[in-house]
Structure 1
Amino acid sequence: MKNLQTYFILTFIMATWGLNVSIIKILVSYFPPVTITSLRILAAGLSVFIILGAMGKVRKPSFREMNFIMFGGLLSVVSHHLLLAIGLTQTSAVNGGLILGAGPLLTAILSTIILRNKPTGIQVLGFLLGGAGVTFIVLSGGKGVSSLSQGDFYVFLSILSQALSFIVISKASKTLDPRLLTGYMLIFGGVILFALGSFMEPGGLKGMSEAPAYVWAAFAASAVLATAVGHMVYNTAISKIGPAEASIFLNLNTFFSLAGSALILGEVITVNHLLGLVLIVAGVLFGSGALEELVIRQRRKRHSHHI
């Protein structure tokens, strides 16, 4: 029962992350990408500490936990965001979307190798269905796959960094509250990204005050809801249901980002997109273990009625 609740919450988080893609598109059209990403992540980290401070959940990490924070922050915040931003400027959105769609499968493989979590046959089918759904949606853009470029390699490294960070979070959350871990990782990663932004985008802070109010409202929504609350909930889910099972929900991002593009940016959704969504939902049900859990619950109900 608890897991089903986690699955519903994860679906909602994927909706916020999907919409966040459109918000980020707006932000990077006004501000230098690395600088605004670092400020968004730092604002998210501060939001996490304000929320956890009010709950009385803030404490100093141990030396061992600090290593997890730094390693996780470098992987999930610095490497993932930086490599993705650079990669997407050097490849097509189609190629980028397809490579990002391989994230859950990559996480499942790493979980099997590093954590020795063997997926069931139904889960493997789920990962493949989800990947097929993402492929369907991305290719229905009509632009096709362009030949592999250096940008594709950067996008792949960004998704590999994220997949590895899920393993780190899974291990770290055995002793450290995953929500607190999220806050520390965001602050640590945000500071490093800001330093990199100062070097890569000199004068990146100039002219920021000239952005219209709605852009700053979008920044606040992205930082607090999508990044702070979203990552707190997602990292808690990793500690509850496992990195591979939680990562399968990332496939929903592709559809929700399309829905966001239609709602916010006025882009068109086609029948192919909806067919892709059906494959993704099937993949999530199989790959996350949600379907197996529903079947077990139904069997228990029937069994209790017979007794």
Structure 2
Amino acid sequence: MTVSKSKIYSLLLFVMLLWGMNVIATKILVTSFMPVTMTAFRIFTAGCIVFLILGFLKAVRLPKGKEWFYIFIGSLFNVVGHHYFLSVGLTKTSATNTGLILGMAPLLTAILAMLFLKDKATVLKVVGVLLGFFGVSFVILGNGESLHHISSGDIDIFLSILSQSVSFITIKKASKTIDPRLMTGYMLIFGSALLFVISLIIEPSGLSSMTRGSIAAWSLFLLSALLATAFGHMIYNYSVGKIGAAEASIFINFNPFFALIGSLLFLGETIVWKQLLGFIFIILGVTLGSGAYEELMRRFARKRHVYMK
């Protein structure tokens, strides 16, 4: 079944709302449970949900040949790397900073697409890359500290989004032979198993922490697993396979916006002017660096050409 771009865009926008709010949910969850252990259980739950949905759609099959390699790489970066650094980082930095740094995803994806998918590097893209990193420097230095006192949590969040961007390139390559939704299910299951092993090593009391959560915390856990992780990753990875990593990643521009709104409404966090200025530079950088501006100009030129005919 062919899905129109407008429907994919609408779904991506909804996923960004889920992911932005999930930053807030994860910030709350890591105060109730040990972060890596909780993340392993949450992702495993999401993986089971994905396979239930795919089973209903009769879209489950065993991977073949090189697909196993792509699933393994995707599990390492999309699940282990991304979610490990995200959960650990949120114990050491604010949800506001997290949301803003996560907005770097389109820029990092565009850079990797130039390197590995042979996307063309233009002057505007290079300028966008520089603006984006300049913006992030304002965000992580928003507390007025020097470069030597950057929060380790901010660095963790940056590594989290870098890992996810690498995985988007892998998913795009793998989508030629395997349904990205099915790949998502396998990545979530395998990645959660790896995270669980890591949690046993670095969080000896992690399992016991999972028995102390309140009903509200467990409700938030299930909502995060079902909506943000299972549904969100299925739809996003499916979109990457359909419209490409760089184009899909443009929508992550909305992620920091929703995370900022959530941090203000639910966590009572404040935003300083340096963070706002950094956000503006990130948006400008992403718009130019991801190729979104050039694509918009090309579409405008095509429409103008048709109109003048």
TM-score between the two structures when normalised by the length of structure 2: 0.81
Q: Could you give the per-residue CA deviations for residues 91-146 of structure 1, whole angstroms, max 9, x where no partner exists? A: 89898778756544333332222221124444444444444454445544555654
For residue 222 of structure 1, what is the amino acid of its counterpart?
S
Q: For residue 171 of structure 1, what is the aligned residue in structure 2?
A: 173
Size of the aligned set, in residue pairs, is 307
2:21 is aligned, of 16, 19, 22, to: 19
Deviation at 1:40, TM superposition (A): 0.7
Q: For residue 52 of structure 2, what is the aligned residue in structure 1?
A: 50
For residue 33 of structure 1, what is the amino acid of its counterpart?
P
2:259 is aligned, of 254, 257, 260, to: 257
Provide the alpha-carbon RMSD of the alignment: 3.4
Deviation at 1:31, TM superposition (A): 0.7
Q: For residue 207 of structure 2, what is the aligned residue in structure 1?
A: 205
Q: What SS does structure 2 have at the residue aligned with 1:116? A: coil
Q: What SS does structure 2 have at the residue aligned with 1:190? A: helix
Q: For residue 189 of structure 2, what is the aligned residue in structure 1?
A: 187
Deviation at 1:259, TM superposition (A): 1.4
Q: What SS does structure 1 have at the residue aligned with 2:149? A: coil
Q: For residue 60 of structure 1, what is the aligned residue in structure 2?
A: 62
Distance 1:188 1:128 in 2: 36
Distance 1:142 1:209 in 2: 39
Distance 2:55 2:75 in 1: 20
2:248 is aligned, of 246, 249, 267, to: 246
Q: Could you give the per-residue CA deviations for residues 148-202 of structure 1, whole angstroms, max 9, x where no partner exists? A: 6877766555444333222211111110011111111001000111122123222
1:69 is aligned, of 28, 52, 71, to: 71
Quick one: structure 1 residues 137 and 13, their matched pair in 2 at CA, closer, same or farther if it must change by over 3 Å?
Answer: farther
Structure 2 matches for 1:270-289, cutoff 5 A?
Answer: 276-289=278-291
Structure 2 matches for 1:1-307, cutoff 5 A?
Answer: 2-3=4-5, 5-86=7-88, 102-142=104-144, 145-147=147-149, 157-206=159-208, 208-269=210-271, 276-307=278-309
Decide whether the 8 Å contact of 1:72 with 1:185 is kept in 2: yes
Quick one: structure 1 residues 24 and 83, their matched pair in 2 at CA, closer, same or farther if it must change by over 3 Å?
Answer: closer
% identical aligned pairs: 52
Distance 2:223 2:64 in 1: 32
Quick one: structure 1 residues 22 and 98, their matched pair in 2 at CA, closer, same or farther if it must change by over 3 Å?
Answer: closer
Q: What SS does structure 2 have at the residue aligned with 1:29? A: coil
Distance 2:30 2:100 in 1: 22
Q: What SS does structure 2 have at the residue aligned with 1:61? A: coil
For residue 186 of structure 2, what is the amino acid of its counterpart?
Y
Deviation at 1:80, TM superposition (A): 2.7
Deviation at 1:251, TM superposition (A): 4.4
For residue 37 of structure 1, what is the amino acid of its counterpart?
T
Deviation at 1:30, TM superposition (A): 0.8
Decide whether the 8 Å contact of 1:14 with 1:252 is kept in 2: yes
For residue 210 of structure 2, what is the amino acid of its counterpart?
M
Which moved further from structure 2: 134-143 or 221-230?
134-143
Decide whether the 8 Å contact of 2:27 with 2:91 is kept in 1: no
Deviation at 1:42, TM superposition (A): 0.6
Deviation at 1:255, TM superposition (A): 3.1
